[in-house]
Chains A and B, each alone.
Chain A
Amino acid sequence: MNIHEYQAKKILSQYGINIPKGRIAYTPLEAKRAASEVSFRGPWMLKAQIQSGARKKGYFLDKKAGRKGGIRLVKSRRDIVREAEKMLGSTLVTVQTGPKGKLVSRVYVEAYNKVDKIFYASLVIDRMAPAITLLVADTKDEDIAGIAVNKPEKILRVPLDLITGASPEQIQNIMEFLKLGSKVAKNLETFINGMHQAFVDYDATMIEVNPVGVTRHGSILALDAKMSFDNNALYRHKDVSVLQDDYEEEDRELKASKYGFQYSEFDGSIGCIVNGDGIALAAMDLIRAKGDFGTACFLNVKGGVDKDKIAAGIKIIMTNPKVEGILINILGGFLRCNLIADGIVAAASQVGLNVPLVVRFEGTNKDEAKDILEHSKLPIIIADDMEDSVNKLIAAMEDSD
């Protein structure tokens, strides 16, 4: 789960990390008031709150929003209202959002802070180590996206101890790597260990501050912040789970996640129901290799054991208007195939089955599952293996054209 910049900054500030003074605003008027609250005079930063990086280089789909990106420097109070009007309710596209972009429903108004130097800092889990690993890079000449691709050697990777964070030697190395003056040392230590402690305390999976600003006096400021959390640990952090922004999720995705399933949409016309990531990917590969239909969406019911939830999940696929054929590949282990069969029958009886549906069952209780489908009298095609299932579905879809 991700949260917005202003929410992440608030968390980081509780760990001794300096952030620019800022207020959140949902309307242009609120933005104006927020500006007065954070600073007597401009300039201010007006920042679209969507959960994505590269907002500054992004563009809005709406004409009214103008040509500038999602992060704007504003000099006068009057311009605050004008720019907030442009951004609020508009859709911002960045290299990280995909072409559909994301709707801006709130803007963050911050006092502008002049800094002498900027750098990139993030904490992420290096799963091979495994360790929480700090990544830093000097971003004066090139942004992190470019450095990551062209000059990975310009990124310092520092594995941190889970309990104690960065050691004094590690802090020293980072100081030298970033060529920071000695008066920054203490502040850098506070900053890095603050990030680390927030990461550990909140079961984060990623914290990214890009850029970090260093002022003339050697203070360190988090000028931006992104934070992602481990969904599996949210039960320990009720204060974070309430920050979930439903607008950031696709409708169907959200519905599926409420049943404990995973749902993703793509550009094609075949809806897939599977019970694992691997099989989902393998099915998508085959669909692509076999023609032009492509995958419209897949629903991963994982190890679901509740018949009603499975039926509800299947309905999400059946009611997606882009779906012209349904492919169900279940390799039952923990998940029992008969539950899926019951779910298909229940879902079809509620919303109707108007497109070809091919099922391939293997593993736990597969014969019972086939019996259920045969007795249902639904026009369901049964396949023997994964490739066979894709072939049969594509043949049926071509026939019904």
Chain B
Amino acid sequence: MSILVNKDSKVLIQGITGTQASFHVRRSVDYGTRVVAGVTPGKGGTMHLNVPVFDKVAEAVRETGANASVMYVPAKFVKDAVREAAEAELDLAVCIADGVPIKDMMEIKEMLRGAKTKLIGPNTPGIITPGEARLGIFPENIHRPGRIGIVSRSSTLTYEAVIETNRAGLGQSTVIGLGDDMLIGMDFIEILDLFMKDPGTDAVVMIGQLGGTFEEAGARYYKSLPDKKPIIGFVAGNAVPFGHKMGYAGDVITKGHVTAQDKKDVMTDSGMVVVDKINDIHLELNKIFPRND
């Protein structure tokens, strides 16, 4: 079992004909992902990487039954790409691009309010259900099928968390990067909720990041649960000195300067096991799931 994507997900690729897209889509296909269509305006009717290319997402959905999208479009086209995905009522859209303007993201969040489509990202490595489907740019060779869910704000530390589950002799049910940007689609609450309900997930690794209060919101949700699966948490940034800033507004909005330690404290208080070093995650996992070798 897994959350959001599995071997039956029918995936279309927005911006399929780009160089980077081609590189990663080929790898996703080799991994077993069911890539059924591509979308690149102006290239409809052609074939690329052995799948049909369409001008519009809606056409691709009508012809192929695709229900998820990975967007490799440049940042400035993301808003339009998400609109198309939402209008075609896809279940899931994964946005890889970094550098999406914040105002565009505010409009996107507005657009997706009440929509069927869930957005992961932007600025995310994507989502992978090991052995079944890879939507994004994950280094697939580090993943192993298993029963630990991983959700992370930091792209690179997602990989670090995957390696830690491997070191513990475990594997991953589904791995999700929420994205490094200021505004993101799905957040910790939504993903933790899915993991808690997923019969294929026994425990979760949650990696937070400085900026915003997404971790605190996730922790509050977790604390409120009557039954919970274990969560191992980590937040980087203890050694960051208080650097140069401009104005006071940023601190006011978060009700003071929020440090990594503040986040860890809230997470610990919610019942998560929070580690100080990311390379200690496997030790905590083995306390819950002892190695039998």
Chain A interface residues (CB < 8 Å from chain B): 2, 51-53, 96-98, 122-128, 130-133, 135, 144-145, 148-149, 152, 155, 157, 162, 200, 203, 205-206, 208, 210, 226, 228, 230, 232-233, 235-236, 264, 266-267, 274-282, 284-289, 295, 302-303, 305, 331-334, 362-364, 366, 385-387
Contact = CB atoms under 8 A, between A and B. Distances in A.
Contact of A287 (B102, B160, B211, B239): B239
Interface stretch (B34-42, B45-53, B249-257): B249-257
Contacts of B246: 2, 51-53, 96, 206, 226, 228
Given A152-B255, A281-B239, A289-B277, A128 B217 contact: yes
B243 A98 contact: yes
B247 A122 contact: yes
16 contacts: A52-B246, A123-B249, A125-B102, A127-B183, A132-B106, A157-B253, A210-B248, A277-B180, A278-B156, A278-B209, A279-B154, A281-B209, A282-B160, A284-B237, A305-B20, A363-B141
A285 B98 contact: no
A264 B101 contact: no
Interface residues of B, number: 69
Given A203-B102, A282-B236, A285-B277, A363 B249 contact: no
Given A122-B252, A206-B247, A232 B75 contact: yes
B33 interface: no
Nearest to B217: A128
In the A-B complex, the 3 residue pairs with the closest CB atoms: A278-B154, A363-B139, A276-B156
Contacts of A51: 246
A30 B182 CA distance: 42
B155 A276 contact: yes
B215 to A, nearest CB: 11
Given A235-B76, A279-B154, A122 B248 contact: yes
Interface string B209-249: 11111100100000000000000001011111101111111
A266 B159 CA distance: 26
Given A122-B249, A126-B253, A145-B248, A278 B236 contact: yes
A371 B153 CA distance: 32
B99 interface: yes
Given A278-B155, A333-B155, A206 B160 contact: no
A285 B75 CA distance: 31
Interface in B78-109: 96, 98-107, 109
Nearest to A121: B249
B277 A387 contact: yes
B156 A279 contact: yes
B249 A206 contact: yes
B137 A334 contact: yes
B8 interface: no
A52 B244 CA distance: 8
A233 B102 CA distance: 8
A148 B106 contact: no
B279 A387 contact: yes
Given A135-B249, A281-B236, A331-B156, A233 B180 contact: no
A51 B209 CA distance: 27
B73 to A, nearest CB: 14
A167 B125 CA distance: 40
A276 B236 CA distance: 12
A285 B139 contact: no
A97 B244 contact: yes
Output the residue of A125, A200, A228, A288 with the most chain B CB within 10 A.
Answer: A125
A253 B244 CA distance: 13
Nearest to A387: B279
B272 interface: no
